[in-house]
Amino acid sequence: MTTPLPISLFPFLLLIPAFCFTICHANSDVLCIQSEREALLKFKNHIIDPSNRLSSWVEGGDCCKWIGVVCHNSTGHVHQLHLAAPLSPYERSKLRGKINPSLLDLKHLSSLDLSYNDFSSIHIPIFLELHSSECGLDNDPSPTSVNSTKSLVVLDLSGNSLSSVPKWIFSLHGLVSIDLSGNSLEGPIPDYFGNISFLEVLYLSFNFLNSSIPNSLYSLNRLQLLSLSDNQLQGTISSAIRNLSSFTHISF
Q: Domains (ranges, CATH) in the chain?
A: 24-213 (3.80.10.10)
pLDDT in tens, 63-111: 999 999 999 988 999 999 999 998 766 677 899 888 787 887 888 999 9
pLDDT of the residue at 120? 64
The answer to whether the beta carbons of residues 125 and 83 sit under 8 Å apart is no
Compute φ and ψ for 35, nearest 5 degrees: -65, -30
The answer to whether the beta carbons of residues 78 and 106 sit under 8 Å apart is yes
CA distance 252 to 205: 8
Q: What is the pTM of this model?
A: 0.75
- What single letter denotes the amino acid at residue 11? P
pLDDT of the residue at 62? 94
pLDDT in tens, 7-41: 443 333 333 333 333 334 434 456 889 999 999 99
Kindly tell me the burial class for residue 112, based on how many C-beta atoms sit within 10 Å of its own C-beta (0-12, 13-18, 19 or more): buried
The answer to whether the beta carbons of residues 218 and 240 sit under 8 Å apart is yes
